[in-house]
């Protein structure tokens, strides 16, 4: 425990099981489940202000009522008395403080068991990398001893449910690392029973099943090891339609032929084994993927295409080329969401890690290859002081570090082909998933999925998932009667299938419990108000389109293309061809085509397979808005000029 100044004693929080609060060595009751859920939100956002509305959504979600913000204030007041019982009644607190319309929980080192768990895992990795697996195993034992259950046990709300899944994955990964070390240390007889129970609970987790196969083989139970492979293969085929990955198949073949290389190696920290320590040294295994969206909807055909492209069937290994998949589409269409969804589904196929890198800086400018490679190398365990100065040498080192590894690289929001090419691995065992506004047709090995807006059925399903209502496949009537069904149809028409617009509209509806769907739909039907409603505080749709415009302006013909876009909004947004655009702009078609292609590259137009172009209705509306000028978009007050593309 760690003493904290101003806390009136020592504080410690435990969430790796039921939520527990210790103060001065005494367990304090944190209150009822909803109050504990509020505390969990503050703990997992520690030292950062959390708006009250965000807490409401995290704890109540779609069940929020007009009373929910007041309940948050009540729970916070009670938590303050629990955390600082000796604080004078009107004195300012130091642990749980108010910040504007939200709250901030101060958290120091050693006060949260989750942070202790993560620190112990880091110590284990450092000791294993130094060739001391026994010490690494001890650190992992310390980390896993902190768990008293599944994490956030019994807490209600969508926030707790989401983080329970994340915590379960962290615990399982640490258990796998512990079993790897046990096998390295020759303890297969000690752990085979425990490993078998955990593997039975996760029949499709290939890394875990492979460890069980190796433990059984080393324990002299070859037939049982092969039975585990057969069982795993059947489970994967029946549930996902996929064969086991290359590593598991190779392990099966090596067990069949009793490969001597599977026999136990001497322990790394045994004297006289420095070469072995170097050969088996742990390489950092990154796991950087963001969490998948619980309400992800549609895109099943695109997801299957991307999975095939990324080598789910061994495509890259057969051809010798690095599999590269590109997701393109206009701002706000859900490119990043699809990339994360697919990458999470394929995570087990890349057991050596998953890297995630945004390719634009916070100001919207494209990241430089040298800086991006430096970040990736550090994430892979290269010391910052060991990084070469030149971009070319960093690229060579990056390809060397990941050579032969099964690693997935997700590159989000790429600017052009050159930016991606500088980051490509050289080994076909790796795969790359890219998101970009344009198609990146210059990547020779890239296969793409060009996203359009959601169709009517998927848009309705996403909307109902966002607001927490079942989708029966029919227009919604809701508690407000038939008019609410009309309101839903009008709202979906106003958002025109753009996932970002639907998410902003749902957040608007849920932020004010009691607000009627029909009233929101009426405001969105008004073109003068629609962009404002879908761009709260200058974010949302306006930010996404503004970011695209800011990048367009940096192009040599960007200003001319922007001026053309404003005029093109007068054409039918459902589709127009090059000759129609040339007539409207009063220019020869050969001079207009490069401008149209440039607008398509930045996602402000969508090129259709028949050689025509389409403009999203919200883009057309922005072009017609008085906030738009020939020189650019005058963003609403407070809106950023540029920034990362919203997910």
In this prediction, residue 154 carries a pLDDT of 92
Res 297 pLDDT > 90: no
Q: Are residues 5 and 76 in the same domain?
A: yes
In this prediction, residue 139 carries a pLDDT of 94
pLDDT in tens, 43-67: 999 999 999 999 999 999 888 899 9
Q: Are residues 87 and 67 in the same domain?
A: yes
Does 252 fall in a domain? no
Does 148 fall in a domain? yes
* DSSP assignment string, 156-192: -SHHHHHHHHHHHHHHHHHHHHHHHHHHHTT-HHHHH
Confidence label for 644 from pLDDT (cuts 50, 70 and 90): very low
Who has greater pLDDT, 381 or 164?
164
Res 6 pLDDT > 70: no
Least confident of 265-269, 364-368, 463-467: 265-269
In this prediction, residue 338 carries a pLDDT of 92
Do the beta carbons of residue 342 and residue 485 sit within 8 Å?
A: no
Res 445 pLDDT > 70: no
Q: How many domains does the chain have?
A: 4
Kindly state the DSSP code that residue 537 receives in the 8-state scheme.
G
H helices within 257-352, ranges in order?
Answer: 274-279, 300-309, 315-319, 335-345
| Residue 35: half-sphere exposure toward Cβ, Cα within 13 Å | 16
Last residue of a domain, one of 475, 501, 525: 525
In this prediction, residue 453 carries a pLDDT of 87
Sheet strand arrangement including 26-28: 2-4, 9-14, 20-23, 26-28
Secondary structure class of 287 (helix, strand, coil): strand
Does 479 fall in a domain? yes
In this prediction, residue 5 carries a pLDDT of 38
pLDDT in tens, 206-235: 999 999 999 999 999 999 999 999 999 988
Among the listed residues 137, 120, 122, 221, the one whose alpha carbon sits nearest the alpha carbon of residue 179: 137
Q: Are residues 493 and 367 in the same domain?
A: no
Res 528 pLDDT > 80: no
Who has greater pLDDT, 647 or 510?
510
Res 42 pLDDT > 90: yes
Provide mean pLDDT across the span 492-510.
85
Does 205 fall in a domain? no
Res 332 pLDDT > 80: yes
Q: Are residues 510 and 584 in the same domain?
A: no
In this prediction, residue 441 carries a pLDDT of 72
Confidence label for 515 from pLDDT (cuts 50, 70 and 90): low
Q: Are residues 556 and 589 in the same domain?
A: yes
Last residue of a domain, one of 252, 282, 312: 282
Do the beta carbons of residue 267 and residue 184 sit within 8 Å?
A: yes
Does 146 fall in a domain? yes
Confidence label for 470 from pLDDT (cuts 50, 70 and 90): low
Does 249 fall in a domain? no
Confidence label for 471 from pLDDT (cuts 50, 70 and 90): low
Please report, for the domain that includes residue 35, its CATH number: 1.10.10.10
Does 235 fall in a domain? no
Among the listed residues 610, 604, 612, the one whose alpha carbon sits nearest the alpha carbon of residue 579: 612
pLDDT in tens, 540-578: 777 777 777 777 777 787 788 778 877 887 777 677 888
Q: Are residues 34 and 141 in the same domain?
A: yes
Give me the chain's average pLDDT, please. 81
- Size of the chain in residues: 647
Please report, for the domain that includes residue 373, its CATH number: 3.40.50.300
Q: Are residues 269 and 125 in the same domain?
A: yes
In this prediction, residue 284 carries a pLDDT of 59
Q: Are residues 312 and 420 in the same domain?
A: yes
In this prediction, residue 212 carries a pLDDT of 95
Q: Are residues 83 and 158 in the same domain?
A: yes
Provide mean pLDDT across the span 346-374.
84
Res 69 pLDDT > 70: yes
Q: Are residues 120 and 269 in the same domain?
A: yes
pLDDT in tens, 240-257: 788 888 889 889 999 998
Q: Which domain holds residue 133?
A: 1-186+264-282
Tell me the C-alpha distance between 168 and 162, whole Å.
10
H helices within 496-539, ranges in order?
Answer: 499-511, 517-525, 527-533
Sheet strand arrangement including 102-105: 50-51, 102-105, 96-99
pLDDT in tens, 574-630: 778 888 888 888 888 888 888 888 888 887 888 777 778 888 888 887 777 766 543
Res 316 pLDDT > 50: no
Confidence label for 352 from pLDDT (cuts 50, 70 and 90): confident
pLDDT in tens, 417-442: 888 888 999 888 899 999 988 777 77
Provide mean pLDDT across the span 13-20.
95
Q: Are residues 502 and 580 in the same domain?
A: no
In this prediction, residue 538 carries a pLDDT of 60
In this prediction, residue 627 carries a pLDDT of 60
Who has greater pLDDT, 146 or 9?
146
| Residue 381: half-sphere exposure toward Cβ, Cα within 13 Å | 18
Provide mean pLDDT across the span 30-51.
94
Please report, for the domain that includes residue 548, its CATH number: 1.10.10
Res 320 pLDDT > 50: yes
pLDDT in tens, 84-128: 888 887 777 789 999 888 999 999 988 999 999 999 999 998 888
In this prediction, residue 573 carries a pLDDT of 67
Provide mean pLDDT across the span 180-189.
90
Angle value at C-alpha 123, between 119 and 128, nearest 5 degrees: 150
Last residue of a domain, one of 450, 479, 503: 450
Q: Are residues 439 and 460 in the same domain?
A: no
In this prediction, residue 119 carries a pLDDT of 92
Does 234 fall in a domain? no
CA distance readout (Å), 529 to 308, 467, 494, 525, 646: 43, 22, 11, 8, 21
């Amino acid at each position: 425990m760690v003493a904290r100044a101003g806390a009136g004693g020592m504080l410690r929080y435990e969430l790796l099981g039921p939520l527990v609060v210790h103060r001065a060595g005494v367990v304090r009751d944190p209150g009822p489940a909803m109050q504990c859920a509020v505390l969990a939100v503050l703990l997992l956002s520690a030292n950062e202000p959390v708006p009250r509305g965000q807490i409401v959504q995290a704890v109540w979600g779609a069940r929020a009522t007009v009373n929910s913000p007041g309940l948050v204030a009540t729970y916070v007041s009670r938590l303050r008395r629990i955390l600082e019982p000796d604080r004078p009644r009107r004195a300012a607190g130091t642990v749980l403080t108010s910040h504007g319309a939200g709250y901030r929980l101060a958290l120091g080192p050693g006060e949260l068991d989750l942070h202790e768990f993560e620190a112990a895992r880091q110590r284990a990795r450092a000791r294993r990398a130094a060739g001391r697996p026994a010490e690494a195993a001890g650190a992992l034992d310390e980390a896993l001893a902190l768990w008293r259950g599944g994490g956030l046990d019994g807490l209600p709300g969508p926030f707790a449910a989401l983080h329970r899944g994340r915590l379960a994955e962290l615990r399982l990964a640490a258990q796998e690392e512990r079993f790897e070390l046990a096998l390295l240390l020759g303890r297969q007889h000690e752990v085979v029973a425990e490993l078998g129970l955990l593997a039975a609970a996760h029949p499709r987790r290939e890394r875990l099943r492979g460890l069980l196969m190796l433990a059984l083989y080393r324990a002299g139970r070859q037939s049982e090891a092969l039975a585990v492979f057969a069982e795993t293969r059947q489970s994967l085929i029946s549930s996902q339609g996929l064969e086991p990955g290359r590593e598991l198949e190779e392990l099966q073949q090596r067990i069949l032929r009793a490969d001597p290389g599977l026999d136990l190696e001497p322990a790394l920290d045994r004297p006289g084994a420095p070469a072995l320590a170097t050969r088996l040294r742990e390489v950092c295994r990154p796991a950087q993927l963001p969490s998948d969206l619980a309400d992800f909807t549609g895109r099943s055909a695109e997801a299957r295409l991307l999975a095939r492209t990324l080598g789910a069937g061994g495509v890259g290994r057969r051809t010798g080329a690095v599999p590269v998949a590109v997701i393109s589409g206009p701002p706000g269409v859900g490119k990043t969401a699809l990339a994360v969804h697919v990458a999470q589904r394929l995570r087990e196929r890349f057991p050596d890690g998953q890297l995630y890198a945004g390719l634009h800086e916070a100001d919207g400018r494209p990241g430089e290859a040298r800086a991006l490679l430096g970040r990736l190398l550090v994430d892979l365990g290269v010391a910052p002081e060991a990084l070469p100065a030149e971009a070319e040498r960093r690229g060579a080192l990056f390809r060397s570090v990941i050579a032969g590894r099964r690693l997935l690289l997700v590159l989000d929001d790429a600017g052009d082909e050159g930016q991606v090419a500088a980051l490509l691995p050289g080994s076909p065992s790796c795969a790359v998933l890219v998101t970009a506004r344009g198609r990146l047709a210059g990547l020779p090995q890239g296969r793409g999925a060009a996203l359009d807006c959601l169709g009517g059925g998927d848009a309705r399903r996403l909307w109902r998932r966002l607001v927490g209502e079942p989708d029966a496949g029919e227009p919604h009537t809701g508690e407000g009667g038939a008019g609410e069904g009309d309101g839903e149809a009008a709202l979906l028409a106003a958002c025109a299938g753009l996932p970002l617009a639907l998410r902003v509209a749902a957040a608007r509806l849920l932020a004010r419990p009691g607000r009627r769907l029909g009233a929101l739909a009426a405001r969105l039907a008004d073109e003068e108000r629609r962009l404002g409603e879908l761009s709260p505080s200058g974010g949302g749709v306006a930010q996404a389109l503004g970011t695209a415009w800011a990048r367009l302006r940096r192009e040599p013909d960007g200003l001319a293309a922007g001026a053309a876009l404003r005029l093109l909004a007068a054409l039918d947004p459902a589709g127009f061809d090059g000759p129609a655009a040339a007539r409207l702009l009063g220019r020869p078609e050969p001079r207009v085509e490069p401008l149209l292609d440039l607008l398509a590259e930045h996602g402000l137009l969508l090129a259709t397979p028949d050689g025509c172009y389409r403009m999203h209705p919200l883009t057309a509306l922005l072009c017609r808005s008085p906030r738009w000028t020939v020189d650019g978009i005058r963003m609403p007050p407070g809106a950023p000029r540029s920034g990362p593309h919203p997910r």
